[in-house]
């Protein structure tokens, strides 16, 4: 699809791409699935046509989903960067190249290398820190950036608007969260027979469950069979029985080595999370014959001070360094990807501070979501089952961050949402109690994992 001035957009024919014009006549491609959260606003594609060019970034404030807006001048991504936008920052005369796929980008240029650190699941920082990527010379667009396509320079985009919600009480804010989240689920359900909620015994999936009950959307719930405490299976079953919602446990199938190989090639070895195991064991193919969308409950931790305890140093006084963050993660301070990635991110945020948000919360969005979760979401392109993360929405992020810190740490926003739907949903414990058999096995597996990790580090040191 030629966009003008020699710029060409190419895409998989299965990808949703809407060719739109804004109110001024500027052409935009809406790539992926943008879902409007605000009931007072039209659908995302319709809203583009009602908005002036310079106001379009602001109009995306209440868009959920995994999407990008592309013109012949700019590329703008979703609130958390779940749809990755990679670009060759060291073009050296090569044509500017932008893609959502690092595997595709290996076809361009010569002498390309990757960072040597191998990611390990749940071991320290198990992602490559944006704005770098695993492929050297190619960067990843941050949610606080808008990419100029002609020069591949980044412009600052301050998406936080927490002041919008300052006048509301905590109860009113939780009601607004329930309204926005429920509207997203309603919009998704319009294009499917039912939604499929992946549930555990935790707070996040219970929040999604409550919002779906309140929105009165057709739903089913599932839990993947895996190594987990018994409450991750018992609590979802009890909740579904209580509200007469179909529930099933998705069993593991025989490992598919071809699927594992395809997974690593597609994700360019940037995703080492549980989804790899689920794909390889057929646990994400269970509903492919049905018209459904899987709903995951990522992103809520934005509002729970997730990294405040890991990084207790304030930005203003101590100006955290790359070494500080690496030490907190218990990571090697000389791994080149960690040094380059975190240093580049810290430099960007020092030059472009988020005045109304703690730096640890910005870190969560621009590292945990844009760095880690986006690679997980890309892996799910391999399965026929569509997947959505409804909380990936700037309006939802801001509402969560607008609560006082003491309420955020206890998940007050989500608990108020659940309580508004039905107080009895909170009668069941959140993540507990843990059974002794699980705890004993977990500690044993951690010891085995630590031993393997030590062996890997020793062999890597000898190879160097």
Residue 176 scores a pLDDT above 90 = yes
pLDDT of residue 229: 85
Residue 79 scores a pLDDT above 90 = yes
Dump pLDDT digits (tens) for 136-160: 989 999 999 999 998 899 999 999 9
pLDDT of residue 124: 79
Residue 235 scores a pLDDT above 60 = yes
pLDDT of residue 272: 81
Residue 367 scores a pLDDT above 90 = yes
Averaged pLDDT score across all residues of the chain: 89
Question: CA quadruple 166, 169, 171, 176: dihedral positive or negative?
Answer: negative
pLDDT of residue 111: 62
pLDDT of residue 128: 94
Dump pLDDT digits (tens) for 399-457: 999 999 999 999 999 999 999 999 999 999 998 776 666 556 555 555 555 555 555 45
Dump pLDDT digits (tens) for 368-377: 999 999 998 9
Question: 167-303+371-433 architecture in CATH?
Answer: 3-Layer(aba) Sandwich (3.40)
Domain ranges of the chain: 2-122+144-156, 167-303+371-433, 436-464
pLDDT of residue 83: 96
Q: State mean pLDDT over 114-119.
A: 88
Report the range out of 6-20, 205-219, 264-278, 421-435 with the highest average pLDDT. 205-219
pLDDT of residue 311: 93
Residue 103 scores a pLDDT above 60 = yes
Which residue has better confidence, 229 or 205?
205
Dump pLDDT digits (tens) for 299-333: 999 999 999 999 998 887 668 889 999 888 887 77
Residue 198 scores a pLDDT above 80 = yes
Report the range out of 71-75, 102-106, 208-212, 259-263 with the highest average pLDDT. 208-212
pLDDT of residue 273: 73
Give residue 460's pLDDT band: very low, low, confident or very high (50, 70, 90): very low
Q: State mean pLDDT over 12-35.
A: 95
Residue 281 scores a pLDDT above 70 = yes
Report the range out of 196-205, 253-262, 372-381 with the highest average pLDDT. 196-205
């Amino acid at each position: 699809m030629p966009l003008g001035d020699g710029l060409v957009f190419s895409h998989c024919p299965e990808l949703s791409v809407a060719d739109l014009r804004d109110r001024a006549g500027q052409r935009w491609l809406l790539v992926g699935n943008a879902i409007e959260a605000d009931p007072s606003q039209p659908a995302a594609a319709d809203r583009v046509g009602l908005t002036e060019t310079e106001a379009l970034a602001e109009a995306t404030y209440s868009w959920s989903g995994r999407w990008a807006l592309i013109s012949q001048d700019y590329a703008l991504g979703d609130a958390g960067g779940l749809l990755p936008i990679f670009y060759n920052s060291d073009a050296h005369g090569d044509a500017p190249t932008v893609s959502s796929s690092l595997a595709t980008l290996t076809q361009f240029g010569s002498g390309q290398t990757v960072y040597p650190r191998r990611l390990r699941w749940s071991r320290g920082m198990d992602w490559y820190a944006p704005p770098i990527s695993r492929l050297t010379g190619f960067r990843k667009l941050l949610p606080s950036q808008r990419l100029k396509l002609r020069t591949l320079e980044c412009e600052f985009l301050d998406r936080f608007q927490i002041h919008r919600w300052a006048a509301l009480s905590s109860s009113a804010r939780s009601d607004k969260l329930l309204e926005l989240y429920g509207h997203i689920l309603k919009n998704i359900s319009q294009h499917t027979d039912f939604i499929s909620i992946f549930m555990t015994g935790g707070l996040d999936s219970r929040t999604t469950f409550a919002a779906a009950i309140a929105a009165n959307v057709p739903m089913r719930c599932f839990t993947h069979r895996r190594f987990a405490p018994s409450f991750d299976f018992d609590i979802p079953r009890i909740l579904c029985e209580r509200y007469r919602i179909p529930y099933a446990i998705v069993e593991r199938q025989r490992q598919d080595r071809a699927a594992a190989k395809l997974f690593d090639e597609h994700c360019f070895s940037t995703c080492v999370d549980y989804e790899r195991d689920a794909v390889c064991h057929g646990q994400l193919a269970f509903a492919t014959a049905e018209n459904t969308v899987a709903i995951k409950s990522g992103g809520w931790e934005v509002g729970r001070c997730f990294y405040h305890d890991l990084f207790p140093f304030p930005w203003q006084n101590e100006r955290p360094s790359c070494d500080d963050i690496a030490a907190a993660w218990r990571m090697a301070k000389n791994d080149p990807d960690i040094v380059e990635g975190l240093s580049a991110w810290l430099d960007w945020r020092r030059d472009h501070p988020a005045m109304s948000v703690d730096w640890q919360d910005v870190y969560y969005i621009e590292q945990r979501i844009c760095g880690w979760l986006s690679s997980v979401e890309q892996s799910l392109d391999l399965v026929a089952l569509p997947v959505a993360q409804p909380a990936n929405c700037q309006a939802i992020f801001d509402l969560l961050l607008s609560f006082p810190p003491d309420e955020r740490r206890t998940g007050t926003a989500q608990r108020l949402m659940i309580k508004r739907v039905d107080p009895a949903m909170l009668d069941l414990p959140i993540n507990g109690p843990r059974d002794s058999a699980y705890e004993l096995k977990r500690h044993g597996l951690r010891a085995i994992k630590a031993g393997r990790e030590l062996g890997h580090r020793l062999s890597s040191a000898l190879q160097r």
